[in-house]
Chain A
Amino acid sequence: MAAASQHRVPQALVALGAVLLCIGSYWGLAKAPGEVFMGDVQRIMYVHVPTAWNAMLALTFAFVCAVSFLFSNAWKWDNRLEAAMEIGVVLSLLLCTQGAIWAKPTWGVWWDWDPRLTTTAVMVFAFGGILALRAFVDDPMKRAVWSAVACIVAFADVPIVYFSVKWWNSLHQAQSSPETVSKAFHWPLRINAFGILFLWTGLLALRARVAALRLRSEIAPPLPERPRAASDARASGGAS
């Protein structure tokens, strides 16, 4: 009963996030006016920009979890780290995909070596590599410490990657913020941003719970059930 109530809040967050995302996307696709220069192509911004904000937020939360784990050695931070990194990688992959879909009609190419695009791709590989590391370490303590250390190093690397690629080449348009876009675009952007935020925080709580259950079975695996038929046979054999 307690476990069921534990799930209720994250499930409600996921449902609320999905509803908000539907409303925001409908607003962005059908109600909001088209952009002057790009036309309908620009409408991908209503998911692209909120995905970018949330991907950054998820990976920043992963960094906070990594630091908290190294200081406290509390398993809950490792469970959250695993969940946050997975969500961050998925959101970053989505970000790259949406960016490519937008870039083809706008820039004429699927991919360009622009700082933000390249940094996102590097982040996908850096944090994806840490998820791979987690998959290959059996000892839960080593897995937790190593992935926390690798997460801190990778997170510290993100600004250096960004600036190095920025110096190397630059094409991406200036960053969007509520001040730089027309007021007509604000609401769908905000609704989608909160929609994705609620969606991933709910999923994070559920995924962290799965990680906690797996950890429990790794540290203290459940005793194998004794087959009833075999024990009965043994008992009867002993009697004869």
Chain B
Amino acid sequence: MTDLLVALRKDLLLQWRGRAQIVAIFAFGAATLLLFSFAIGPDSVALREHAAGFLWLGLLLASTLSLAESFEREMEEQALEGLLLLPASARALYYGKAIANCAQLTLLGVALVPVMVVLYDAGTVRLLSLLGVILLGTAGLSAPGTLYAAMTAQTRARQTLLPLLLFPLVVPVLLAAVKATSLLILGDPMGQLRPWTSLLGAFAVVHWALGGLLFGRVVED
């Protein structure tokens, strides 16, 4: 547990010191939200209906940048090898990085919500529920994302490989998160929010468990 906290502190500190990068990734996400609206045209009803989908697509595209960056730093000066020589388990290193990535993506998601509200007039008063959906969704993105980023950071064509591996895998997260966010924005007369958030939770549990189990083999030399 101490190993995990130390690893988490290290990753959060790294993110804080590279905060200019987070701002750039936020700008990228906001730009995608602006661009998506051109696909629909100036139809305010249609834009509002699709707002949740655009938010999560923007977040998904931005997440590949942020996840890839989290391991790029570990590749410099062979920092990852140094970390693995420490008397800490690879599992603690994985969970530290995955939690830090999840926190960063949640922050990014929360920051993109006002952009969505302004551009698509798609607000909700259930802010706590929205935060919960964003947290569960980003937990689902960051668990397999961190595992795959650890692999692709060490390969050629890493910019192509990470999204190629991650996007098909996180289809359930995208579906469930878009549905849940849509229900919060457009109303939920049938009470469908709970099954979708349960699906997000189940996905996160499966992938956080698998990631912790398999990460040791991914980084071994």
Contact = CB atoms under 8 A, between A and B. Distances in A.
A164 B156 contact: no
A37 interface: no
Contact of B165 (A123, A129, A145): A129
A167 B172 CA distance: 10
Interface stretch (B21-29, B39-47, B104-112, B199-207): B199-207
A152 B210 contact: yes
Interface residues of B, number: 33
A157 B206 CA distance: 9
Interface residues of A, number: 30
Nearest to A143: B155
Contacts of B203: 160
A153 B218 contact: no
Given A133-B155, A136-B157, A160-B206, A150 B199 contact: no
A218 to B, nearest CB: 16
A129 B164 contact: yes
A130 B164 CA distance: 9
Contact of A149 (B167, B176, B195, B218): B218
Task: From B168, B196, B207, name the one whose CB has the most chain A CB atoms within 10 angstroms.
Answer: B168
B166 to A, nearest CB: 8
A145 B199 contact: no
A9 interface: no
A175 B164 CA distance: 30
Contacts of A148: 217
A56 interface: no
Contacts of A137: 154-155
Contacts of B155: 133, 136-137
Contacts of A153: 144, 147, 169, 207, 210, 214
B220 interface: yes
B171 A130 contact: no
Interface string A144-182: 011011101110110011011101100000000000000
A133 B165 contact: yes
B195 A130 contact: no
A156 B161 CA distance: 20
A32 interface: no
Given A129-B164, A164-B176, A167-B195, A149 B169 contact: no
B205 to A, nearest CB: 11
A161 B214 contact: no
A215 interface: no
A10 to B, nearest CB: 31
Interface in B81-102: none
Given A156-B206, A161-B172, A164-B172, A132 B164 contact: yes
Nearest to A162: B172
Contact of B151 (A70, A122, A146, A154): A146
Interface of A: 70, 118, 122-123, 125-126, 129-130, 132-133, 136-137, 142, 145-146, 148-150, 152-154, 156-157, 160-161, 163-165, 167-168
Given A126-B165, A133-B164, 4 more contacts: A125-B167, A130-B165, A164-B171, A168-B179
Interface of B: 144, 147-148, 151-152, 154-157, 160-161, 164-165, 167-169, 171-172, 175-176, 179, 195-196, 199, 202-203, 206-207, 210, 214, 217-218, 220
16 contacts: A122-B168, A125-B164, A129-B161, A129-B168, A132-B160, A136-B156, A137-B155, A146-B218, A150-B148, A152-B214, A156-B206, A160-B203, A163-B199, A164-B171, A164-B175, A164-B176
Which 4 A-B residue pairings sit nearest by Cβ, starting from the closest? A164-B172, A125-B168, A126-B168, A129-B164
